[in-house]
Amino acid sequence: MTSLSLAVRVHLADALVWAHARHLIAAAAVAGHRLNAVTARWAQSPANRCIRPGCPRCRRAP
C-alpha cells in the first residue's frame, strides 16, 4: 500500500466519521434531544469508544 492510498483511506474514514456525527446531531435537533443524549448514543458505538478509563462523556468504567 502506498502512502498516498493510505492517506486517502484515512481521509475517507475521517469524512465518514464527520458525516455520521453530523447526521446524529441533525437527527437529535429534529427530535428535540439534548446534546448529552447524542453524546451517549455516539459513545455506544464500538467504533467510537473512548480509550480513557472513567471518561465523563462516555462513562467508561475504569
DSSP assignment of 21-42:
HHHHHHHHHHHT--HHHHHHHH
The residue ranges of every structural domain in the chain are: 3-48
**The whole model's pTM is what?**
0.50
Rounded to an integer, the average pLDDT of 6-15 is 85
Residues 6+ apart with CB under 8 A from 43: 49, 50, 57, 58, 59, 60
Does residue 26 surpass a pLDDT of 80?
Answer: yes
Per-residue pLDDT of 30-61, as tens digits, reads: 888 887 777 777 777 766 666 666 666 665 55
Q: pLDDT: is 8 or 41 the higher one?
A: 8
pLDDT bracket for residue 6 (50, 70, 90): confident
Output the nine-digit C-alpha cell for 27. Answer: 437527527
Does the pLDDT of residue 16 top 80, yes or no? yes
